[in-house]
Amino acid sequence: MKNLIKIVGLGAGGHAKVVLDIVRQHEAEFELVGLLDPVVTKHGREWNGAKILGSDALLPELVRDGVTGFFVGLGSAGDVHTRRKVFEAGIQAGLTPVNLVHTAASLASSVELGRGVCVMAGALINAEARLGDNVCINTGAIVEHECVVAAHGYVAPGAVLAGGVRVGEQAFIGLRSAIKQGLQIGPRAVVGAGAVVLDHVPADTIVVGMPAKILSRHDQP
């Protein structure tokens, strides 16, 4: 019998409930021990069938008990920095981030995945696309051929990246937005929901509208 990889989820928000369904699709590979979350009132509760064990302070104990893998259970509302911090906490604890791809997602054979990538139901990722560490491609999003989404990037439900788009580290691509082919979205940029992006987006900016224009500039760690 194959030894299962023991994993823990870091974060217990609504996003985690969706990711847990993907974990269950891979029950021949993973054994889920539970979730960790800093909100004390959640501790001991069931979360879509998984127990919230406590906070990240339990990580050393879980490692001693044979847990070797983790996934990020936090989504993003433009705050990709928090997902990055949670991911780094798992790495620092000595755990390995696992890739979770929904069985209803479609990935070309030439797609390259980093560590801790999550691809949700209905997502389509085409030839020679590359996804960096801790990237999330959410429900029904399209990442076309030769796109690159750098580490900690987040593509929200229904967003479309046309061919050859480059998304920088910690960038957020909003709900049902569309990015024209060949464009660059700078690190930590935020593309607002429904935006139609027809030009490059500088780092540390928020763009909104059809066509997208810079709304403001912001500083992220």
Per-residue pLDDT tens over the stretch 142-160: 999 999 999 999 999 999 9
Residues 85 and 122 reside in one and the same domain: no
Q: Which residues, 6 or more positions from 109, have their beta carbon under 8 angstroms from its beta carbon? A: none
Q: Give the pLDDT confidence score for residue 79 in this predicted structure.
A: 73
What is the DSSP secondary-structure string of 89-123?
HHHHTT-EE--EE-TT-EE-TT-EE-SS-EE-TT-
Residues 25 and 89 reside in one and the same domain: yes
CA–CA distances in Å: residue 109 to residues 65, 70, 106, 140: 36, 25, 10, 19
Residues 22 and 64 reside in one and the same domain: yes
Residues 107 and 205 reside in one and the same domain: yes
Residue 149, SS3?
Answer: strand
Inside any domain, residue 220: no
pTM equals 0.94
End position of a domain, from candidates 98, 121, 152 = 98
State both tokens at 33: 């021990």
- Looking at the structure of the chain, the number of domains it has is 2
Inside any domain, residue 122: yes
Give the mean pLDDT of 53-62.
95
Q: Give the pLDDT confidence score for residue 3 in this predicted structure.
A: 87
Q: Give the pLDDT confidence score for residue 138 in this predicted structure.
A: 97
Q: In what order do the strands lie in the sheet with 100-101?
A: 100-101, 118-119, 136-137, 154-155, 172-173, 190-191, 205-208, 213-217
How many CB atoms neighbour CB 71 within 10 A?
Answer: 29
Inside any domain, residue 188: yes
What is d(CA 168, CA 65) in angstroms, rounded to the nearest whole number? 37
Q: What is the CATH number of the domain that holds 182?
A: 2.160.10.10
Which range marks the domain in which residue 30 is found? 5-98
Q: Give the pLDDT confidence score for residue 220 in this predicted structure.
A: 57
Residues 83 and 148 reside in one and the same domain: no
Tell whether the model's pLDDT for residue 1 goes beyond 70. Answer: no
Q: Give the pLDDT confidence score for residue 161 in this predicted structure.
A: 98
What is d(CA 135, CA 175) in angstroms, rounded to the nearest whole number? 16
The fraction of the chain above a pLDDT of 90, given in percent, is: 91
Tell whether the model's pLDDT for residue 219 goes beyond 70. Answer: no
CA–CA distances in Å: residue 169 to residues 52, 126, 136: 30, 20, 12
| Token pair 């709900």 in the structure block, residue | 175
The whole-chain average pLDDT of the chain stands at 95
Q: 22-33 pLDDT, tens per residue?
A: 999 999 999 999
